[in-house]
Structure 1
Amino acid sequence: MSAPTKAELEEIAAEVRRFLETVWPDWHRLRGRSLPDPLSLGTCQTSSLFLAAVLHAHGHGAHIEQGNDPEAEEGYLHDGAWHGHAWVECGGWILDISADQFGRPPVLLAPVDDPAYRRGADTAFESAKRQRRELVDAAMDKWRRRATAP
């Protein structure tokens, strides 16, 4: 797998973010949620899994990271408090396409040692992990169809 440039990562992340803005309403409805503002709220794990899948499709090694225990000071540090959050790491960069839920830019790239991000474990139940994977698989099908549309 090749080492991507920061510019390439920014371009892919922005394209994925634009695409997910069309998908997030369905994800919220499927989970019985009303549409939040911003739409990215509560989608960070599934969105990060999707971004990692797209990066892999582009030939880049990427993996999801997350912190889900604010009491253990992991996740994302915002306004002096830790929040459960997920993001992608690729080529020495953090790619966060749902940072706007914390008042940050919708697509944020930061060095992997950014102190606002601290890794932890995925503590979700297997059923939640399975649902995320199903949502990502369906979104990837839609992504591929979009890419091949005339």
Structure 2
Amino acid sequence: MAPAKRVVFSDIQMYLEAIANNPNDKRNVDNSGHGRFWNVSYAQFTTGTIPNEDCNGAAIPIVDRDPAKCSFYQALKAKQGWCKLGQMPQGGPYITDPGYSVKLSNGTVISGADIDANIVWWLTNNIPEKEVGTEKDTNLS
């Protein structure tokens, strides 16, 4: 696994889209309750909740800077998934599977291990929206 690179919100969206579009997925994300919840603004993603899903009756925040508490990350990473929801995508394949890789919209092929490392980097480095020095560099404090 390569060291995590600097990751921004559009990278996270690209990873989730590639995972959802993996032709080997056992279930179409568009048939899930939450749908493509990542296709929202940065503010909605970082402060919002997973649509049509709950954990013991409570709304599930999409993002937490602590990877161990971040619902979308734990749903991808943990065998038990998040709360009562199993590992995603439902039925697999999972980013944790040996040899897992997907093709991103920019043509790059990325391994599940690199997706994992890059999401952790993003969560633990102030969940940057844009590259530093771009027109709008937003980090949540």
Q: TM-score, normalised by structure 1?
A: 0.30
Structure with bigger strand share is 1
Q: TM-score, normalised by structure 2?
A: 0.31
